[in-house]
Structure 1
Amino acid sequence: MNALPDPALTRAVLVGVGAYAHLEPLPAATRNLPALAAVLTGPLSWQLPAEHCTVVCDPASMPDMLDPVKRAADEAEDTLLVYFAGHGLLDGRGELFFGLPGSQSGWSYTGVTHQALREIILSSPAGRCIVILDCCMSGRALGLMGSDDTLADQAEIDGSYLLAAAPDNSPALAPPGQTHTAFTGQLLKTLEHGVPGPERELDLDLVYQQVRRELVAQNLPEPQKRIRNTAGRLVLARNPAYRPAPRPAGARAAKVPWPDPSTFRTPLAFLEALGEVRALSGLTLQAVSERTDPAVAAQTIGQLLNRTTLPRTWKTTRSYLAACGVPDRQCARWEAAWVRLRAQEQTETTAVVPEPAPARGWHARLRRRRGTDS
Structure 2
Amino acid sequence: MLKRTLLGLLWLISLNANAVVILQYHHVSETTPASTSVTPAQFEEQMQYLAANEFTIIPLTQAVNALKNNTPLADKSIVITFDDGYDSIGLAAAPILAKYDFPYTVFVSVEPIEKAYRGMMSWDDIKTLTEKGATIANHSWAHEHLNRKLDGESKQQWLDRIEANLLATEAEIKKHTGQSVKMLAYPYGEYNGDVEDILKKHDFIGLGQQSGAAGKYSILTALPRFPVAGPYADLDSLKVKFTSLNMPVVKQNITDPQLSQGQWRPELIIELDTSDIYPHQVMCFVQGQGAKKPTWVSETEFSIQASANLPAGRSRYNCTAPSKTKSGYYWFSQAWLRPNNDGSWPKE
TM more than 0.5? no
TM-score of the pair, normalised by structure 2: 0.32
TM-score normalised to structure 1 length: 0.31
- Greater CA radius of gyration, 1 or 2? 1
Please state which structure has a larger fraction of its residues in strand: 2
